[in-house]
């Protein structure tokens, strides 16, 4: 696994991990995840000593909004890649002791099999995560723990208290356009607001 760069988003705990692809006339090969390479990097100290225990894949049609999801017990960090399609990734800081509590950051991922690199995202524990789907997509992510339904919460990405001020205006415009008639699960439609999160039973576990 050759990591070309690790770059913070405007919420600097969320990182873009750029890895090299080996491209020739046949296509490309890339090593997408080697735990030892990730956990040894000082920029990714949040996952040091942790192990990626579960891998998931989701397929979503254009117009879908997923999230914003958080899980505690175990506390999950996520390492995400886009296999195909086009999405805006969303990460919301829900750590009530954080100076950036309530702020959201975004990153655009678009599949390009001819590119000499691939961007992946490291979303650490303490951030509720979701995606807004521009084109039909397949997303894969690794997580540092097993799924636990009793430790899940869903925060509405449409919560009026969310601070979008640091987000690229184009990303926000795309999200607002998709939000006019979004495809969402019933659970996500019932997602709590950011103010409701403050008194949620799981909030004390997220610092």
Residue 179 has pLDDT above 90, yes or no: yes
Is this model's pTM higher than 0.85 or not?
Answer: yes
The pLDDT-based confidence of 1 (bands split at 50, 70, 90) is confident
Query: Other CB atoms closer than 10 Å to residue 99's CB: what's the count?
Result: 7
Q: Which CATH architecture has domain 3-202?
A: Sandwich (2.60)
Model pLDDT, residue 83: 97
Instruction: Give residue-wise pLDDT tens across range 137-173.
Output: 999 999 999 999 999 999 999 999 999 999 999 999 9
Contact present, 76 and 148 (Cβ < 8 Å): no
Mean pLDDT for the chain overall: 96
Catalytic residues: 69, 141
Contact present, 173 and 90 (Cβ < 8 Å): no
Instruction: Give residue-wise pLDDT tens across range 42-56.
Output: 999 999 999 999 999
Sign of the Cα torsion 109, 11, 155, 205 reads: positive
Q: 3-state SS string over 52-106?
A: CCEEEEEEECCCEEEEEEEECCCCCCEEEEEEEEEEEEEEEECCCCCCCCCEEEE
Instruction: Give residue-wise pLDDT tens across range 109-131.
Output: 999 999 999 999 999 999 999 99
Taking the domains of the chain in order of start, what are their residue ranges?
Answer: 3-202
Residue 26 CA to residue 31 CA, distance in Å, equals: 17
Model pLDDT, residue 171: 98
Model pLDDT, residue 207: 81
Model pLDDT, residue 156: 97
């Amino acid at each position: 696994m050759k990591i070309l760069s690790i770059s913070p988003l405007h919420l600097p705990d969320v990182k873009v991990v750029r890895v090299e692809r080996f491209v020739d006339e046949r296509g490309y090969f890339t090593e997408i995840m080697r735990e030892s390479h990730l956990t040894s990097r000082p920029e990714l100290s949040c996952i040091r000593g942790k192990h990626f225990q579960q891998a998931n894949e989701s397929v979503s049609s254009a117009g879908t909004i997923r999230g914003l999801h958080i899980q505690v017990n175990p506390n999950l960090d996520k390492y995400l890649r886009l296999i195909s399609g086009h999405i805006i990734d969303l990460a919301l800081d829900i750590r009530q002791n954080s100076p950036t509590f309530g702020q959201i950051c975004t990153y655009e991922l678009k599949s390009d099999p001819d590119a000499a690199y691939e961007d992946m995202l490291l979303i650490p524990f303490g951030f509720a995560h979701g995606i807004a789907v521009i084109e039909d997509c397949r997303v894969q992510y690794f997580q540092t723990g097993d799924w636990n339904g009793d430790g899940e919460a869903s925060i509405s990405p449409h919560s009026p208290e969310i601070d979008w001020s640091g987000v690229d205006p184009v990303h926000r415009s795309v999200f607002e356009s998709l939000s006019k008639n979004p495809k969402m699960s019933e659970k996500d439609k019932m997602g709590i607001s950011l103010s409701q999160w403050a008194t949620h039973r799981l909030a004390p576990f997220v610092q």
